[in-house]
């Protein structure tokens, strides 16, 4: 059994944004409260966390997820990484360093941005112990295969991930043809669709819908949403088979 839990469906500012009193930032609909982007893949009871958002601790508590066996990173932007310290909680449950997988350049980013995590002789604990692995092909996890799929986010190379007939494709505005082929025959796709207006490094709704037309997944959920999207309103405008993700959304795939 494969489960997917959306921990965060929001853009880098989160929704509500600090100091904004627009109708979405003040909405009573819980689906309009968006933490920074992250998901958990549950693979036969073992959990893979995709990205460590700044709200990771709050997200995992809210979703009732007690343990993580492995971490994958999509890319090195702050909204996807900066909850990294809270991984130390899983050193206790695992009894060993947390296995972390990412592109080589993202691992280098992590080492240069959080040098204290990797400094020898830090006194008093308080830091996570991580076992870094560069991704150079499909990953075996608990009897399944996690396939990294390269996509572009402006000039930044991002990894999307596919497991069986599910794929998580966040932070992109261009999916090369070879990668499109790796995203065929999906039951469920979670796809970056920032907002209605264009953006230089993210799909907007129109571009994301064009990609849905090409990939033809059975069901698509848009993520990385801004405060310009009122969930109840925009969801009604989307075609059949396309919905908005929201924090706490949980999917079960056979």
DSSP 137: S
Report the residue number, 79 or 141, with the smaller CB distance to Zn ion: 79
Phi, psi of 163 (to 5 degrees): -130, 120
Beta carbon of residue 27, minimum distance to Zn ion (angstroms, whole number):
9
DSSP secondary structure string for all residues of 163-209: ETTEEEE-S-SB--HHHHHHT-S-SEEEEE---SS--SSS--HHHHH
Tokens of 233: 């309103």
Phi, psi of 153 (to 5 degrees): -130, 80
Q: Which of 55, 79, 207, 247 binds Zn ion (CB under 5 A)?
A: 79
Q: Which of 31, 33, 34, 77 binds Zn ion (CB under 5 A)?
A: 77
Instruction: Tell me if residue 211 falls in helix, strand or coil.
Output: helix
Q: Which of 51, 55, 171, 247 binds Zn ion (CB under 5 A)?
A: 171
R_g of the chain, CA atoms, integer Å:
17
Beta carbon of residue 91, minimum distance to Zn ion (angstroms, whole number):
26
- Interface region with Zn ion, contact rule CB under 5 A, candidates 71-79, 125-133, 138-146, 174-182: 71-79
* 31 is a contact residue toward Zn ion (CB under 5 A): no
Positions 80 through 119 that interact with Zn ion (CB under 5 A): none
Dihedral, CA atoms, 252, 53, 198, 179, nearest 10 degrees? Answer: -60
- Please give the biggest Cα pair distance in the chain: 56
- Interface region with Zn ion, contact rule CB under 5 A, candidates 39-47, 70-78, 139-147, 206-214: 70-78
- Interface region with Zn ion, contact rule CB under 5 A, candidates 61-69, 118-126, 166-174, 238-246: 166-174
- Interface region with Zn ion, contact rule CB under 5 A, candidates 112-120, 123-131, 181-189, 226-234: 226-234
* 78 is a contact residue toward Zn ion (CB under 5 A): no
Name the site residues for Zn ion (rule: CB under 5 A): 20, 22, 25, 77, 79, 171, 227
């Amino acid at each position: 059994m494969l489960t997917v839990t959306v921990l965060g469906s929001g853009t880098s500012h989160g929704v509500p944004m600090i100091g904004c009193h627009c109708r979405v930032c003040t909405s009573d609909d819980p689906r309009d409260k968006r933490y920074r982007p992250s998901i958990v893949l549950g693979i036969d009871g073992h959990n893979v966390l995709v990205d460590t958002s700044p709200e990771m601790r709050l997200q995992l508590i809210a979703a009732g997820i007690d343990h993580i066996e492995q971490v994958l990173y999509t890319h090195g932007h702050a909204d996807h990484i900066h909850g990294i310290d809270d991984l130390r909680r899983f050193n206790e449950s695992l009894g060993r360093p947390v296995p972390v997988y990412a592109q080589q350049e993202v691992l280098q980013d992590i080492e240069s941005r959080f040098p204290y995590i990797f400094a020898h002789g830090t006194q008093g604990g308080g830091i996570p112990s991580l076992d870094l692995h560069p991704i150079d092909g499909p990953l075996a996890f608990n009897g399944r295969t996690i396939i990294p799929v390269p996509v572009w986010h402006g000039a930044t190379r991002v990894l999307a991930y596919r497991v069986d007939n599910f794929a998580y494709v966040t932070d992109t505005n261009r999916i090369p043809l070879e990668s499109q082929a790796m995203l065929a025959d999906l039951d469920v796709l979670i796809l970056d669709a920032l907002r209605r207006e264009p953006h230089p490094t993210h799909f907007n709704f129109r571009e994301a819908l064009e990609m849905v037309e090409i990939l033809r997944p059975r069901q698509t959920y848009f993520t990385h949403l801004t405060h310009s999207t009122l969930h109840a309103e925009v969801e009604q405008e989307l075609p059949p088979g396309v919905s908005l993700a929201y924090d706490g959304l949980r999917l079960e795939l056979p």
